[in-house]
A and B are shown apart, each in its own frame.
Chain A
Amino acid sequence: MDSVITVIVGLIQVLVILALAPLLTGIIRKTKARTQKRIGASILQPYYDLLKLVRKDEVISDQTSWIFRACPWINFTTMTTAAFFIPVFLAYTPFGLVGDLILVIGLFALGRFFTMLAGLDVASSFGGLGSSREMMISSLLEPALFLSIFVVAITYGGTNLSTLISASSNSSFLPHPQILFAAIGLFIIILGETGRLPFDNPATHLELTMVHETMILEYSGKSLALMEWSQSIKQIILFTLMINIFVPWGISSSILLSTLVIGFLTFIGKISLFGIFVAFLESSVAKWRLFRIPDLIAIAIATSMIGIVLCYL
């Protein structure tokens, strides 16, 4: 009986992620608009966009193959599957035994793999440009991400997210100074992975600056909706990971309605705050030149490496 409830809670966590993903995007956009002295669209605007897009007819390039068409579905499926392994307001998830953090990264990579292919499939130079930049950024982010995970996993005893977040929620990070370094590293990486400034400007359509947008430039209708949605899911998953690993305060460690509700509310609060923080940060920096981005990633790698040394000393 317990396990059934656990599974149900786990599924609820997945649904929460799916449902809240556009909201997070909305919050960030709204905050950014406010910082730029604009009123901005409603924070629910992403939901309206998705609904509108899903109902629209599609235009598909005649150069494309099935890969282009399959890509949104694959992206959405992988992101959603990744969501299964993420503890959101409960410190563990019943699917923790099925896959770990590395699998989550793998699923992200699978989605990105197809996105890059789709970018190439349209035979325009935009797509190639986006894929080319994404290739560079993602291949550099991968080791940085792994190193920061290395720190976290060794500190909290596992890449299994249930173990990891349970352990982090039970301990203060004061005895683990390395966690701070990992947090810096992971934060930079998350900015890169989600395509935020200074890596990428999600709001621009200028070929000099854009990365992710170029790859999905040819999408329209429900394909575009799926692509946008999965991007927000990825974003919320990464943000959730960040807050649950480094600021696990208030997360429920058992299946009690009360703690779950507290957990959920603190989660909403933390993630919104985090989103607002990111939005403020984005407003204060400019997009970096493409070839300066490796410098940023190098900082992430360096901090993670210091973290590793601290782990063992």
Chain B
Amino acid sequence: MISNLILFQIPILLFVIGALSGLLSRNSRLARPMIFVPSMIGSIFTIVFSIGIITGTQLKLVIPHILPLFDLEIFVDGISAFFMLIIGLVSFAVSLYSIGYSKEYEIQKRISAFGFLFNIFILSMILVVSSNNSFFFLIFWELMSLVSFFLVIYDHDKEENLKSGMTYLVMTHLGTAFIFTSFVLGYVQTGSFSFDSFRHGSTGFPLLVKNLVFVFAFIGFGTKAGMVPLHVWLPKAHPSAPSNVSALMSAVMIKIGIYGMIRTIFDFSGFGASPDFAWWGMLLVSIGSASAIIGVLYAVVERDIKRALAFSSIENIGIILVGLGLSVVFTSFHLTAFAVLALVASMYHTINHAVFKGLLFMGAGSVVSVTHTKNIEHLGGLVKQMPWTSLLFLIGAISISGLPPFNGFISEWFTLQALLSSYHIPSTILQISIAFASLPFALTIGIAAATFVKLFGMTFLSKTRSKNIVNIKEVPRSMILGMSILAAVCVLFGVVPYLGTSLISTAFHMSFQQSSPLDFISVQNSSGKSFANLSIPVVVIILSSVSIAIFGFIRVLSGHTKKTTYSTWDCGFGSLNERMEYTPTSLSQPIRAVFKVFFKPHNQTEKESFGENPYLLKTVKVETMIKNIFEEMLYTPIVSSFVFFFDKVRKLQTGKINAYLLYIMITLVLLLLFVRLSNNG
């Protein structure tokens, strides 16, 4: 038996080795294996370690007095290990993928710093989930943000990337300020920065403090997770980053925000089974459904493939939050079984989203790396040149759309069941609100499928829409392999939900009734009958047997028929070309029109005509744009009011020494008067 501690140290060591060898590789030919092989092995060890923790005992470690007052405390329990498992799983696949993907950087001699940052990024995420002291938690948390920021602006020649990087960094820092406040409230109550003291002392906090701890942590971690309306950084940062980094960020990093929320709610905030806390859950549910619907609405009209995926991350975070919120509501009303159901739903979706979003971002990265464009208006027809990438992307797309029998369906099924179980809550107003919250939720699932029809269809199917995209080849084998791992997990977690449920219930120390892979997942209703059942393995058996049967049946029925290939019907007008195809913008036009209140779509038309006559047009360029209501209604006013304030303040520094002396005089007199008057009174 290797002890847990050593297993914990090995991956850390490996990531450090990866980081350093990245720096030392000096962009040589060996750079890629030197960087990514350690990170792959490190990820494997992370997985092994986390499974060891989930099935075995917790790890606790204290290194005192590194800094005054703060001890470096490490604590890995099932919850941490669960998230560590996600980190390990995705980073393994991404590392493998990166061997092929980062060849471009090797050619450009820029891989050294990338390798360093990449390894440190994964390491920082592992350290965040395993730290047990608010100070060190924040250090690793900010390290994670910082390193990911550098990765986001890795292609820093583009001004746009710098801007999105800045937005990201500032938003995440704002979030950190809230997290800090939440922790400090705990410190003020307990007098210690250790999470242990929060854990033990939190039940004794006054209710107001408990509420504040929760709200601040929710805002702080929610910023990182990308919940609405703090999501603005996410659709900017993820497309700017190199795709393997986007995969890590979207699949894993934003989940760390979820981790933080779970930790705070269930560990530090003194949360308990009392209706006082039901509003926490309702807050989570409402913000979650808002995030889900808003995220997916932006995703469906998006033309940038990576930004669409980023918006879809916001949507999925929303779904996770809904599950989490329901769990909180159920717990506060002492409905343990349903709380478990909702938490399983939420966590199942967490791991699912990590897997399929990682897969999709890698797929998008493959597309971008061969076509050099992120705009799906220019893509199309890649399924012929890139059969593997398209197949894997399709698996990801089906999974994320929540279609059976892949993993997305399972978690959405759980979440829907949790929503339906809300009728157990002994409060009519909550029942009705949750029922209404299921409206945006269901809308989300519907539009998500549309989004991925659009993304997959426009990218991979029919004919290419741009003449520049020629000579496309399938991506290198390592990239395909990296994607296949996650695709396999998608299928596995879809077909055998027992894997997921048992993982979650063991990690979170809950009892969930499913006892074997073939056992039915079931939800009981109030009269003890089965409310809902699901057994995906059997469904898969039915699906496959039906398909075999029907294939045989049709074969017998049809006898021998021929297949002829001919061009698509063109209404007899002559050959179809790519300009006649439906474009992504027109594909999503109906949805844009239906939700025009939200999108406020408007066209900008530029006409160029021959000579004087305005009717003899040479070119017409029409651009369809939507308004980003969050930036316009929320962020722009805030920023401009700050700038207004800055502008007023800078008037103080007039350059006139007389004014400066006057300030001193006024300060002095005011302070003296203050003393004088406070003494009289």
Contact = CB atoms under 8 A, between A and B. Distances in A.
A and B in direct contact, judged by CB atoms within 8 A: yes
Interface of A: 51, 54-63, 65-67, 73, 76-78, 80-81, 84, 95-100, 102-103, 106-107, 109-110, 112-113, 116-117, 120-129, 131-133, 135-136, 138-143, 145-147, 150, 153-154, 157-160, 162-163, 217-218, 221-222, 225-226, 290-291, 294, 301, 305, 308-309, 311-313
Interface string B554-582: 10011101111111111000001010111
B256 to A, nearest CB: 30
A144 to B, nearest CB: 8
A313 B547 CA distance: 46
A121 B593 CA distance: 24
Interface stretch (B277-285, B342-350, B446-454, B668-676): B446-454
Contact of A140 (B452, B581, B594): B594
A58 B561 contact: yes
B629 interface: no
Contacts of B62: none
Contact of B551 (A73, A81, A96, A153): A73
A73 B550 contact: yes
Given A135-B453, A313-B428, A58 B568 contact: no
A122, A145, A225, most chain B CB atoms within 10 A: A122
Given A113-B403, A128-B587, A160-B530, A140 B443 contact: yes
Contacts of A117: 453, 456-457, 461
Contacts of A222: 554, 558, 561
10 contacts: A51-B557, A63-B381, A103-B539, A106-B404, A106-B409, A123-B568, A124-B568, A135-B450, A222-B554, A308-B435
A63 B561 contact: no
B570 A124 contact: yes
Interface string B534-552: 1100110011001100110
Contacts of B446: 138-143
The residue among B381, B403, B446, B586 with the most chain A CB atoms within 10 A of its own CB is B446
A102 B419 CA distance: 13
Chain B: interface size category: 35 or more
B450 A139 contact: yes
Contact of A159 (B431, B520, B531, B563): B531
Contacts of A84: 542
Nearest to B562: A57
A113 B565 CA distance: 24
Contact of A81 (B439, B445, B542): B542
A305 B522 CA distance: 26
B546 A81 contact: yes
Interface string B254-293: 0000000000000000000000000000000000000000
Interface in B398-429: 398, 401-404, 409, 413, 416-417, 419-420, 423, 428
B404 A158 contact: no
A123 B462 contact: yes
A160 B563 contact: no
B480 interface: no
Nearest to B402: A106
B383 A120 contact: no
Contact of B554 (A54, A102, A128): A54
Most buried by B among A51, A129, A154: A154
Contact of A120 (B431, B436, B458, B532): B458
A225 B553 CA distance: 13
B561 A129 contact: no
Given A65-B383, A159-B417, A131 B587 contact: yes
A10 to B, nearest CB: 11
A60 B547 CA distance: 22
B561 A139 contact: no
Contacts of A106: 402-404, 409, 413
Given A102-B532, A135-B587, 6 more contacts: A62-B566, A100-B533, A106-B403, A117-B456, A221-B563, A291-B593
B529 A163 contact: yes
A77 B436 CA distance: 33
A59 B522 CA distance: 46
A313 B431 CA distance: 10
A110 B403 contact: yes
Nearest to A100: B532
Which of B384, B402, B453, B527 has the most chain A CB within a 10 Å cutoff? B453
A250 B657 CA distance: 98
B652 interface: no
B654 interface: no
Contact of A113 (B436, B453, B463, B562): B453
Given A113-B401, A113-B403, A124 B561 contact: no
B566 A120 contact: no
A103 B404 CA distance: 7
B336 interface: no
Interface string B222-250: 00000000000000000000000000000
Residue of A60, A109, A301 with most partner-chain B CB within 10 A:
A109
A128 B586 contact: yes
Most buried by B among A57, A98, A106, A226: A106
Contacts of B428: 312-313
A61 B457 contact: no
B591 interface: yes
B68 interface: no
Contact of A312 (B394, B432, B543): B432
A122 B568 contact: yes
A139 B535 contact: no
A153 B525 CA distance: 10
Contacts of B566: 59-62
A99 B533 contact: yes
B568 A218 contact: yes
B588 A121 contact: no
Given A61-B567, A150-B438, A96 B561 contact: no
Contacts of A98: 520, 533-535, 538-539, 542
A58 B559 CA distance: 13
B423 A55 contact: no
9 closest Cβ pairs, A-B complex: A128-B582, A142-B446, A120-B457, A139-B446, A136-B590, A123-B462, A143-B442, A146-B442, A135-B450
Contacts of A51: 557
B440 interface: yes
A109 B449 contact: yes
Nearest to A14: B546
Nearest to B382: A65
Contact of B539 (A56, A81, A308): A81
A150 B418 CA distance: 12
Most chain B beta-carbon neighbours within 10 Å: one of A80, A81, A122, A139? A139
A73 B546 CA distance: 10
A133 B450 CA distance: 10
A139 B594 CA distance: 11
A135 B454 contact: yes
Contacts of A221: 561, 563
Contacts of B582: 120, 125, 127-129, 131-132
B467 to A, nearest CB: 15
B589 interface: yes
